[in-house]
Amino acid sequence: DASVARAHVERLEAQKTEQSSLIASYEKRLSNEAYVRQAPKQVVEQTRDQLAEAKERLERLQTEQARFTSLESS
């Protein structure tokens, strides 16, 4: 059904936007020299891990959206 497909694509877009915001936040934090220098190493490492996970989630969402869009247009 077209409305279900549209709703799914909209959910994917919202999730992509959320992940992009998280990525920007983590990158900003890690680009702050004071944060990297003063925060405990485990906290900085956790932020790096969170950044990597957010990038992976964004990539999966983009792949799913591309696959879904190609199926929708077939």
Tell me the mean pLDDT in the region 31-44. Answer: 98
pLDDT, position 73: 66
pLDDT, position 4: 82
pLDDT, position 3: 80
Is the CATH code 1.10.287 the one for domain 2-73? yes
Tell me the mean pLDDT in the region 54-59. Answer: 98
Give domain limits for the chain.
Answer: 2-73
Which tokens is 72 given? 């929708």
pTM over 0.85, yes/no: yes
DSSP characters over 6-71: HHHHHHHHHHHHHHHHHHHHHHHHHH-HHHHHHS-HHHHHHHHHHHHHHHHHHHHHHHHHHHHHHH
